[in-house]
Chain A
């Protein structure tokens, strides 16, 4: 790739997250988790050396409306060009000492800027945790929450000490407030911030807020992530709510995602990914303050992104039942993913064969009675699983199936051979039978009709008087309720 005409700085530091970062030598694109489908093609473009305009064309080729957010960064030009839409923003530290934030949420369509003399850019995609990441990437495809180019060399705490840093160096401190920011509520934590007033930073970032002020928002003009995030929620209602975390749990953020809770469902990122596991470990080791930061901050976003009221004490009593809310807690500063997931994908599989029409779990009145050849009589007011040693899988406390074990001296009947359950839709009020993929099959004889072999997984309505043959001498007579 053409690193040659690049500035010396091609390495970026990133923190893993849910967004897709397509990082190229000349152009980098960041897409929300929901836009996974676009990533492959864009990577081809970016890796192939496409310029800013080509990539932008490709991004908006299918219309802007279908693209809830993105951030496009052109870094190969003498000037740095950025286009941000939706919940993406970039903070530029200029050589002049000035800091410029380009926030996609500030504009209805997108926010574009061309900047000269950029010393550092920080791309902030998930507001939860503002800490710079420790992974580095030159060019490639990464899941990212934040990216810094060049990497922030001094870590947050360290950054406050190196006073001697040149004019550029003090600046990197600025993004930091994003980090300690929401941490402030914990009076124990102000530590990392305390040193900052000593930094001869051109901008007296937060001299006073050091007071263990409960307010999570120090008087900080620019990177105010809370405000920015608010706008994200307000301006881009079509945004999938879970996935990337908006910012701190402001009460006004909460109602927003609740408008569309079914869009996606929460997912919990386990911290046992070896790739990121080290992060989790280091997060745990440096001490409580550190740990608290990552943990707290990420959750801030998650809560806000979820549909549950984020304010402490705001949850209702623990619920037991289908997911009405979307919350995406995560662990140890790891980033949550799952923004693009559709609720339907997570719908619990009905017991039985996938594809079978859903039925009422349990009916008030039995829709039929099964009279077994061995004498047992079973009412069909719920799913009835019949076999030599039937198993019920993946049911809930409200739709527990009934298991009926039938004798099968010759083992011709499968362990879970067939299911009879109350029908739904066109079959409402009657029972339907489904062969569960039995080895030897099932034959049904409906009154007035010839014998019919069941196709495994295909439900068939049972008329009163029907006879089901499982083999091994076992038949079931279907009687009316």
Chain B
């Protein structure tokens, strides 16, 4: 049986007037959404995502059909955002827009057993801790990520790049709203961090990694990450969700004897 322990923290930051981030930490569903848009548009969009995923968490879903469940939740959230925008536009704000990033982690399953299903849309991030290594799993949908991918700039340059906040996908009317999906074995990600760019943009990976590695309690870890983002300037809403997998051991982790102990050389007689 898999148990998930989670902690979450969020803060408006030191610069923004409102907190447009929203999050959910209701096992087995975890979400961070960073809203954008005029007036309350950002809050509406990020809240729509979180509410749809909360509905999913409450109603439950077939872990082997988690991809379809995510698709439905995002579709419903997007429909709500679009309806909201349409309503505001019909009311006279003809150019109203609202949208949000999404990162989500769901406990899913395939034929082999439980897995993490991770979802990314935009530039919020998912990191994993495995064997004491802290690694980013999601790949930002951003202009600078494209520049990094094509080798035009280095990751260090990206941190100072003037377009580092330009994202290429988001959940909202129009544009590209197709999420990246990831499936990870639970054993490869005993601890997950989901955060908005108010955390990852203010605190460098090394410092985030230190906190994620060293702070045992997920609530404390999430709070320290947000506190660190504020201490670094708090330029944006900062949200962090930490999830720990407890009480689960990978089947066959140490005792697998099914492997056929015949090497290719033996079968073929020789290898080059």
Tell me if A332 and B165 are in contact (CB < 8 A). no
A306 contact from B82, B137, B175, Cβ within 8 A: B175
Select A400's contact among B18, B96, B181, beta carbons within 8 Å: B181
On whether the beta carbons of B15 and A394 are closer than 8 Å, the reply is no
Contact A323 B182 (CB under 8 A): no
CB neighbours of A337 from chain B (8 A): 143, 163, 166
Q: Are A272 and B258 in contact (CB under 8 A)?
A: no
- The docked-state distance in angstroms from the alpha carbon of A320 to that of B201 is 28
Contact B37 A331 (CB under 8 A): yes
B170 within 8 A of A: yes
- What is the bound-complex CA distance between A392 and B149, given in angstroms? 19
Q: Is A8 an interface residue (CB 8 A)?
A: no
> Which bucket holds chain B's interface residue count?
35 or more
Tell me which of B203-211, B213-221, B263-271 binds A.
B263-271
Interface size class on chain A is 35 or more
**Is A450 an interface residue, CB under 8 A from the partner?**
yes
A458-478: which residues lie under 8 A (CB-CB) from chain B?
A: 467, 469, 472-475
CA–CA, A481 and B126, complex, Å = 38
Q: Contact: A451 with B183, CB < 8 Å?
A: no
Residues in chain A near residue B172, CB distance under 8 A: 329
Q: Nearest A residue to B164 by beta-carbon distance?
A: A273
Asked if A395 is an interface residue, CB under 8 A from chain B, the answer is yes
Which residues of B14-39 have CB atoms within 8 Å of chain A's CB atoms?
15-18, 36-39
Interface pair B162/A312, CB less than 8 Å apart: no
Partner of A473, one of B93, B143, B162, B261: B261
Contact A267:B168 (CB < 8 A) given known A318-B173, A337-B143, A451-B268 = yes
| Whole-angstrom distance between the Cβ of B259 and the nearest chain A Cβ | 5
A303 vs B172: C-alpha distance when bound (angstroms): 13
Interface residues of B, dominant DSSP:
loop
Q: Judging by beta carbons under 8 Å apart, are A270 and B36 in contact?
A: yes
Q: Is B74 an interface residue (CB 8 A)?
A: yes
Known contacts A285-B17, A313-B90, A315-B173, A271 near B178 by CB under 8 Å: no
- Pair A346/B176 contact, Cβ less than 8 Å: yes
- Chain A residue with Cβ nearest B189: A391
**B139 neighbours in A (Cβ, 8 Å):** 349, 393-394
B177 beta carbon closer than 8 Å to chain A = yes
Q: Which residues from A are CB-within-8-Å of B79? A: 317-318
Q: Does A59 contact B (CB under 8 A)?
A: no
A298 on the B face (CB < 8 A): yes
- Report Cα–Cα, A393/B197, bound state, in Å: 21
A304 closest partner in B (C-beta): B95
B146 within 8 A of A: yes
- CA distance in complex: A233, B103 (Å): 37
B residues near A296, Cβ cutoff 8 Å? 38, 93-96
Name A's B-contacting residues (CB within 8 A): 143, 182, 185-188, 214, 216, 248-249, 265-275, 277-278, 280-281, 284-285, 288, 291-292, 294-300, 302-303, 306, 308, 312-313, 315, 317-323, 325-332, 336-338, 341, 345-346, 348-349, 373-375, 389-397, 400-409, 415, 443, 445, 450-451, 467, 469, 472-475
The chain B residues found within 8 Å of chain A, CB to CB, are 15-18, 36-39, 41-42, 67-68, 70-71, 74-75, 78-79, 82, 86, 89-90, 92-97, 99, 110, 112, 115, 122-123, 137, 139, 143, 146, 149-150, 162-170, 172-185, 187-188, 197-198, 201, 233, 235-236, 250, 252, 256-264, 267-268, 271-272
